[in-house]
Amino acid sequence: MSLKMTLTAFLSWVSTSLSMLILIVPVLVVALHPLRRLPGSFWSKICPLPLIIQCRKARRSAWILEQHEKHGVFVRIAPDHVSIADPQALNQIYGHKTGFLKEPVLFNTRDMSIHQRKRKYVSPAFSARNLQDFEEHMNPSITRLVQYMQKCVTESKSFDFCRWSNFLAFDVIGEYSFGSPFGFLESGRDDYNLIHTIDTRGEVLNAMGHLPRWMRPYMKYVRIDPFFYKGLRSTASLEAIGRAAFGKRKEDTSTARKDLMSFLLNAKDPDTGDRLPDKEILAEAISFIVGGSDTTSSTMTNFMDFVSRDQKLQADIYTELLEAFPGSQDSDWVASEEVSGKLRLLNATLKEVMRLRPTSSTGLERVVPEGGRVVAGTFIPAGFLVSVPTVAIHHNTQIYRNPEKLDPQRWLVEDASDLTNYFVPFSTGPRACVGRNFAWMEMLKTLATIFRLFQFERTISVPSESREGFFVKVIECNVRVGLRASK
């Protein structure tokens, strides 16, 4: 046999062997994996690419819900990540002293002791007394929103409530975090490009959190798909905006108001007695800007989206509001939280909107602690990721009858308290949203005010389109607005 024939045969053998390896290795990875008994798509079992692609498409939780509908309660959405759509898993994973830790990704604190220390700094800012004191400072922003709506009535024009609820939420957060609003409502513009910045940042970090750690630092150089490059630039822009607002507030020593900055600037490390470094304060402030604006604005937009399409429900809410706030109202009137918080139908509708369309819809990742854990009757080895998608629990047919239907009455029957155990729009356990009472107050005051004064009608009949970064957000909510007659 000639040398040429021998070399050709050898190369053919190498090529065949490599092809076999390429085929066999993924099969062996799936067959020998500790989670091999749990269902999921083949590609999800060998790499995180399917999950990353869905994050890139801004539809992660929708895809995960589809995977559960196809594969059942337990689904491997990545090689080392199990999504569990079982109500039992909520307290088993997210409850107090369970031992499950956050996955150390780009934008959170994993160590529970550090998290608890930070929570002690900011928890007093959200006490009932402090929120009560702040309520009057929230009113001017709501009044500016009302004034804009009155202008729309006069000019007979529709407007995008999604955009203006964002303006409201950012101005209120600016007022509470830094002592002054960002000025969105007054100008009617987002001069900081803050809304787009936060949306882009959320989508990119959501996707990057599932990339291998060694790959993340290099994504800013990827120009084939500008998604990552532009998103990481947005992260830097948000930090610059937060730093400017923080610097302005820090220099203002004349204010005696107890805003978020006052608590952080006066906080001391329990171990050293030193004040918090500016970098840590800035990180907390930025976190609150993102979390405190997106969730409230998105939920109010969802409320508007549903109620403006249902005139019967809107009329019933108006009847309740009219009884609670009778007569004509002054031009700067804003509903009080004390009264709004007791309105049964308004509160039930808001809860139902948050159940049906939770803004934090995806599962929050946790690492199974040493020794492994039995979750919802199934053993999961240590070191793997688990999560419980909020949207799957909120749409569980064993908990909620006709879960796809908006039905506020489900919260007004005698056994409604049984549903509360599985109502987790703010998460649950020690890492539940610290600002939930703040958000609830802002939403109730705003919705009570505008639905008492105005009537709304959605300008489209087709379902609303949404995108998901950290939170699921409807991308537009254009409505026609009319003034309610004084009675």
Whether the predicted pLDDT of 106 surpasses 50: no
Q: Nearest Cα to 75, choosing from 84, 86, 65?
A: 84
Amino acid identity at 359: T
Query: What tokens does 337 get?
Result: 């939280």
Query: What tokens does 61 get?
Result: 């939780």
Contacts 24+ apart (CB under 8 A), 237-243: 237/193, 237/197, 238/194, 238/197, 238/198, 238/201, 238/286, 238/289, 238/290, 239/282, 239/286, 241/192, 241/194, 241/197, 242/282, 242/285, 242/286, 242/289, 243/282
Whether the predicted pLDDT of 253 surpasses 90: no
Residues within the annotated binding site? 433
DSSP 133-154: HHHHHHHHHHHHHHHHHHHHHH
In terms of pTM, does the model score above 0.85? yes
Q: Which one of 94-98, 164-168, 289-293 scores highest in mean pLDDT? A: 164-168
* Structure confidence at residue 241 as a pLDDT band (50, 70, 90): confident
Phi, psi of 463 (to 5 degrees): -60, 150
pLDDT tens digits for range 134-162: 899 999 999 999 999 999 999 999 999 99
Report how far residue 228's alpha carbon sits from residue 234's, in angstroms, rounded to the nearest whole number: 10
Going along 288-396, which residue ranges are E strands?
Answer: 366-367, 373-375, 378-380, 385-387
Three-class secondary structure of residue 19 per DSSP? helix
Contact 282, 318 (CB under 8 A): no
Cα–Cα distance list, 75 to 35, 38, 40, 90, 274 (Å)? 10, 6, 5, 16, 46
Q: What DSSP designation does 271 have?
A: T
Domains of the chain (ranges plus CATH)?
Answer: 34-483 (1.10.630.10)
- CA 68-70-73 angle, to 5 degrees, is 35
With a CB cutoff of 8 Å and minimum separation 6, the contacts of 360 are: 295, 390, 425, 426, 427, 470, 471, 472
Report how far residue 6's alpha carbon sits from residue 57's, in angstroms, rounded to the nearest whole number: 50
* Structure confidence at residue 12 as a pLDDT band (50, 70, 90): low
More confidently predicted of 99 and 247:
99
pLDDT tens digits for range 33-57: 899 999 999 999 998 999 999 999 9
pLDDT at 58: 92
Residues within the annotated binding site for heme? 433
Query: What tokens does 262 get?
Result: 């006052």
* Structure confidence at residue 10 as a pLDDT band (50, 70, 90): low
Mean pLDDT for all residues in the chain: 86
- Report the DSSP beta bridge partners of residue 458: 479
Contacts 24+ apart (CB under 8 A), 253-257: 255/179, 257/137, 257/179
Sign of the torsion formed by the C-alpha atoms of 375, 379, 383 and 386: negative
With a CB cutoff of 8 Å and minimum separation 6, the contacts of 123 are: 434
